[in-house]
């Protein structure tokens, strides 16, 4: 019996993938200003990385104006943004690829300069991010995190509705599905974890209550798309943005078991060794593997991400720990990554200094294998 590999086909919801090299959602901060709509440069970037039957998960996109924590990220709540994303989707589909959109609200990982009316960022509870961690203002200046304002119950329902509306907007833009961002210390994970959720109402206290927000959002998005076009991303042992549960297993076992019967397109884990990797080179040693821990209790397609090489990705799939592997940083610098991994071609190193903001440099100017390296 041949074991599955990175280049075995895979069914993800209604999408028949030709290979299992997934492009991870990657914040690049290159949306048009001030509309925060994707622009032609963004469509070119995604089209460069699209392959026939390949899956791209597009970058995290706030579901409402109060959901931002970085300048220049694209949203999915206005007509201009829907139109901009439509151009991206069309470019990927023209290459035969599939593309899902990641739906996002950063919660307390924000600053009042991003918030309508200059109000404080919102969170499940008024618990600030650790003082030693810094953020940036809307004009890109360094700043300290502020103490967020705890959401009222009626506002929680409003954010669930914003996710539903954003899911509908993603459908209008032509996406093949959506992914709910429940990882990396953003709003959904702030509700999940006991250190950031001190609520005493139906959204706090017990694990079931803390998971309620995620489950309500997931059900709302399923109501738009159907479960087989919805994915959820989690980071059980992550530490990004001052996140982290003292004992993650009871919480995330409950969450995975609650999501299991819904029939989702996939569950997407960030491996703990790469939590926080967007800000610095990170390789947390002696940490558990999310895919190994949760594969036995997840019945559907499992995607995982976090510092994989072609060799370790193939091993994870062959051993049954994951069904597909999402690549981030090396997909930035290798637009033809699936081909390079299949053929064993060398990889172009990425330039961290060009990850966020800017124009073509470090975005659309990385060469295909065999092309002249950029000067």
pLDDT in tens, 97-151: 999 999 999 999 999 999 999 999 999 999 999 999 999 999 989 999 999 999 9
Closest CA to 295 of 265, 264, 253, 238: 253
Other beta carbons within 10 Å of 84: 25
Rg (CA), the chain: 19
Give the relative orientation of helices 79-94 and 153-172 as an angle to the nearest 10 degrees.
40
The CATH number that domain 10-354 falls under is 3.20.20.70
- The whole-number pLDDT of residue 285 equals 56
Q: pLDDT tier at 3 (50, 70, 90 boundaries)? A: confident
Q: pLDDT tier at 44 (50, 70, 90 boundaries)? A: very high
Cβ–Cβ < 8 Å for 107, 146: no
For the chain, what percent of residues have pLDDT higher than 90? 91
- The whole-number pLDDT of residue 371 equals 79
The dihedral region occupied by 142, where left means phi > 0, alpha psi between -120 and 50, and beta the remainder, is: beta
Cβ–Cβ < 8 Å for 317, 6: yes
Determine the average pLDDT of the residues in 74-102.
Answer: 98
| Digit-coded pLDDT (tens) for 165-193 | 999 999 999 999 999 999 999 999 999 99
By DSSP bridging, strand 149-150 and strand 142-144 are unpaired
d(CA 165, CA 161) in angstroms, rounded, equals 6
Handedness of CA 161, 221, 321, 328 (dihedral sign): negative
pTM listed for this prediction: 0.95
d(CA 64, CA 121) in angstroms, rounded, equals 13
Cβ–Cβ < 8 Å for 262, 298: no
- The whole-number pLDDT of residue 283 equals 47
Res 280 pLDDT > 70:
no
- The whole-number pLDDT of residue 251 equals 98
Res 313 pLDDT > 50:
yes
Q: pLDDT tier at 272 (50, 70, 90 boundaries)? A: confident
Cβ–Cβ < 8 Å for 28, 71: no
Determine the average pLDDT of the residues in 196-218.
Answer: 98
The answer to whether 350 is a known catalytic residue is no
Q: What integer best gives the mean pLDDT of the chain?
A: 94
The active-site residue out of 46, 186, 252, 266 is 186
Cβ–Cβ < 8 Å for 173, 183: no
Res 53 pLDDT > 50:
yes
User: In the 3-class helix/strand/coil scheme, how is the chain assigned residue by residue?
Assistant: CCCCCCCCCEEECCEEECCCEEECCCCCCCCCCCCCCCCHHHHHHHHHCCCCCCEEEEEEEECCHHHCCCCCCCCCCCHHHHHHHHHHHHHHHHCCCEEEEEEECCCCCCCHHHCHHHCCCEECCCCCCCCCCEEECCCCCEEECCCCEECCHHHHHHHHHHHHHHHHHHHHCCCCEEEEECCCCCHHHHHHCCCCCCCCCCCCCCHHHHCHHHHHHHHHHHHHHCHHHEEEEECCCCCHHHCCCCCHHHHHHHHHHHHHHHCCCEEEEECHHHCCCCCCCCCCCCCCCHHHHHHHHCCCCEEEECCCCHHHHHHHHHCCCCCEEEECHHHHHCCCHHHHHHHCCCCCCCCHHHCCCCCCCCCCCCCCCCCCCCC
* Higher-pLDDT residue of 285, 22: 22
Could you give the maximum distance between any two Cα atoms of the chain, in Å? 61
CB contact burial 228-242 (16+ within 10 A = b; e otherwise): bbbbbbbbbbbbbbb
């Amino acid at each position: 019996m041949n074991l599955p590999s990175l280049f075995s086909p895979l069914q993800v919801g209604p999408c028949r993938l030709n290979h299992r090299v997934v492009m991870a959602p990657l914040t690049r901060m290159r949306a048009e200003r001030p509309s925060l709509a994707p622009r032609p440069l963004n469509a070119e970037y995604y089209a460069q990385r699209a392959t026939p039957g390949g899956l791209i998960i597009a970058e995290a996109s706030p579901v409402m104006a109060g959901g931002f924590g970085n300048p220049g990220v694209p949203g999915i709540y206005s007509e201009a943004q829907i139109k901009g994303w439509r151009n991206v989707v069309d470019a990927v589909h023209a290459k035969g690829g599939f593309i899902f959109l990641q739906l996002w609200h950063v919660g307390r990982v924000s600053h009042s300069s991003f918030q309508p009316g200059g109000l404080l960022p919102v969170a499940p509870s008024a618990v600030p991010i650790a003082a030693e961690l810094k953020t940036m203002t809307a004009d890109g200046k360094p700043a300290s995190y502020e103490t967020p304002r705890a959401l009222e119950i009626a506002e929680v329902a409003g954010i669930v509705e914003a996710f539903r509306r954003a899911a509908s907007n993603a459908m209008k833009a032509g996406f093949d599905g959506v992914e709910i961002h429940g990882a990396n210390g953003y709003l959904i994970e702030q509700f999940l974890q006991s250190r950031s959720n001190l609520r005493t109402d139906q959204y706090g206290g017990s694990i079931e209550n803390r998971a309620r927000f995620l489950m309500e959002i997931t059900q709302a998005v399923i109501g738009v798309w159907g479960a087989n076009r919805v994915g959820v991303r989690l980071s059980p042992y992550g530490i990004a943005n001052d996140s982290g549960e003292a004992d993650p297993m009871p919480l995330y076992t409950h969450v995975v078991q609650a999501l299991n019967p819904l029939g989702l397109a996939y569950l997407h884990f960030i491996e703990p060794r790469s939590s926080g990797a967007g800000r610095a080179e990170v390789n947390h040693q002696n940490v558990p593997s999310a895919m190994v821990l949760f594969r036995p209790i997840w019945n559907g397609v499992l995607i995982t991400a976090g510092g994989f090489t072609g060799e370790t990705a193939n091993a994870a799939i062959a051993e049954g720990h994951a069904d597909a592997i999402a690549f981030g940083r090396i997909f930035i610098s290798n637009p033809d990554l699936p081909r390079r991994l299949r053929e064993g071609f060398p990889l172009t190193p990425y330039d961290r200094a060009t990850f966020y903001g800017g124009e073509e440099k470090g975005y659309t100017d990385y060469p295909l294998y065999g092309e002249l390296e950029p000067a």
